[in-house]
Chains A and B, each alone.
Chain A
């Protein structure tokens, strides 16, 4: 008898099922927004890698334009591509040799790709839960 009561208690009311479904949808949307941010970061890092490689190829003394504000650029010459200053977060930047800077960027990219994979797995799991819940709701409404 006690067991039967426990089963009855754990069963969700239609209102609770709706609430959980809404929550699952909101979580999926939040995770999707996070995936979009991760994709932006990946694109930015790839672009940085390409720029660094081009600068290295062009070598010391090459003239370039540096943006000053949003619509102004000034000409400058590349002094040194062997030392690169990298933002490590927390308002800190560190100076790294070119090769180490590339390795750091590669590590960051690998981390972001892992993060994207985890987010996509989480989205898939939430979808599966939402599908189950929808099945329960439809089953009960028949």
Chain B
């Protein structure tokens, strides 16, 4: 998965468990900028919220892809599969791949 809520939540846990006084850096364009912990947490919260939105959007697309398959609308299915690949990290080529992706996304969202 290109978008992985589990990783982001794990990063947030790690950040929260850090004893006080540990320095935190935000990397950008090859630079590491020292930031406060609250700032780092805010940064992660924003990324978590964005990932959740992206996964919910992907679920909608999966449902639309099922419909496209049922209606034998191949062009629509291919367009949706290409969009889903940005989140999944692979192109879901058929119903079985869609089912596996749907299961994984639902599991990630339920773990919140």
Contact = CB atoms under 8 A, between A and B. Distances in A.
Contacts of A91: 26-28, 43
Contacts of B28: 91
Given A91-B28, A92-B43, A93-B27, A27 B22 contact: no
B62 to A, nearest CB: 15
A141 B92 CA distance: 30
A61 interface: no
A120 interface: no
A71 interface: no
Nearest to B100: A27
A95 B26 CA distance: 12
A24 B95 CA distance: 12
Contacts, number: 61
Nearest to B96: A23
Interface in B29-81: 32, 40, 43-44, 47
Nearest to B25: A93
Interface in B7-33: 7-8, 10-11, 14-15, 18, 22-28, 32
Nearest to A16: B95
Interface residues of B, number: 25
Interface in A51-96: 85, 87-96
Contacts of B22: 94-96
A92 B40 contact: yes
Most chain B C-beta atoms within 10 Å of own C-beta, residue among A27, A88, A96: A88
A33 to B, nearest CB: 9
B104 to A, nearest CB: 12
Contacts of A89: 7-8, 10-11
A82 to B, nearest CB: 13
Interface in A7-47: 19-20, 22-24, 26-27, 30
Interface of A: 19-20, 22-24, 26-27, 30, 85, 87-96
Given A24-B96, A92-B24, 7 more contacts: A85-B23, A89-B8, A90-B47, A91-B28, A92-B15, A92-B26, A94-B15
